[in-house]
Chains A and B, each alone.
Chain A
Amino acid sequence: MGGYNSPLRKRAGRALSGALALIVVLLVVQIWLLMASVESWLAGHHEVALPAAIISGVLFAISVGLLALIRKTEQTGRRPGT
């Protein structure tokens, strides 16, 4: 029953918090990117739409990867005896 406060579980918790913080940072960058590209688009710079979409897609993929990492870490933390 010593799982709730085990060092591995604590480490898993810290890893989860770190991953979440990174996702938040990536999301803030994405929000800024969308705002900036809409502003540029309205100003007539239509060429920014494609690179902005690609970068946003890459950031989204990283976020999905981090979410997958969270799930994996969570399973590790839940494993019996840990």
Chain B
Amino acid sequence: MSEFEPNETGGKQNPPTGEELWREEFPVASAEQGFVERRQFGRFLVLTSGAMVAGQLWLLGKNWLSEVETTEYPRKAVALTSEIPVGGTKVFQYPGPSDNCLLVHVEPSKFVAYSQKCTHLACAVIYAPEKKRLECPCHEGYFSIDDGHVTQGPPPRPLPRIELEVEGGQIFAYGISVFGKET
């Protein structure tokens, strides 16, 4: 039955106006759809915002845990004093087998050691004896040989320093310090 034919009561329906006709043919309310899309986008943004808070809380929890748990580093013989000449270096692993560190014989009675992993993008740092500094060859980040602080380049943090002691002609590593703090 056509919609313009007489209905059951015998009367005729009015023909639809222009707007009613296209709404019947295309019943999608774009304005409504816009509202729904924006609401969903807003939900997604707020959810992401919640994830950021979760990240901050994770950091806070990790902070709290690091205060509760004290990390014990092993005492480990890493080299003999006689095996490295002045200006020479030796790579050793401390505290774990995959944590490369660089032992440097700076002066006749001075040994220092730092993590070999650059704090920028984890390239291996090397010692430049003529300039007395540690250099990252990847992005020209330089670190002081005295305390490991960044003197130039993109690294955001100093190199972790390995605590050393010399005993009976042997060099022992016994801890790691960051910014002078025992970790």
Chain A interface (Cβ < 8 Å from any Cβ of B): 1, 4-5, 9, 13, 16-17, 19-20, 23-24, 26-27, 30-31, 33-34, 37-39, 41-44, 46, 49-50, 52-53, 56-57, 59-60, 63-64, 66-67, 70-71, 74, 77-78
Tell me the number of A-to-B contacts counted with CB atoms below 8 Å: 110
Distance between Cα atoms of A64 and B48 in the complex (Å) = 11
Q: Which residues of B contact A41 (CB under 8 A)?
A: 59, 62-63
In the complex, chain B residues 54-92 whose Cβ is within 8 Å of any chain A Cβ: 55-57, 59-60, 62-63, 66-67
Cβ-based interface call for B169 (8 A): no
Q: Is B29 an interface residue (CB 8 A)?
A: yes
B156–A43 touching, CB < 8 Å: yes
- Considering the complex, give the chain A residue whose CB is closest to the CB of B63: A49
The 3 A-B residue pairs whose C-beta atoms are closest, nearest first, are A53-B56, A30-B52, A44-B179
Check A20–B38 contact: CB distance below 8 A. yes
Complex CA gap A70/B57 in Å reads 27
Once the chains are docked, how many angstroms separate the CA of A38 from the CA of B55?
9
Q: Of residues B32, B55, B62, B181, which shows the largest number of chain A Cβ atoms within 10 Å of its Cβ?
A: B55
Q: Report B-chain residues with C-beta under 8 Å of the C-beta of A53.
A: 53, 56-57, 59-60
Within 8 Å of chain A (Cβ to Cβ): is B27?
no
Interface of A is mostly: helix
Residues of chain B within 8 A (CB-CB) of A56 are: 52-53, 55-56
Cβ A34 vs Cβ B56 within 8 A: yes
> Which A residue's beta carbon lies closest to that of B35?
A74
> Which of A19, A23, A50 contacts B49, CB < 8 Å?
A23
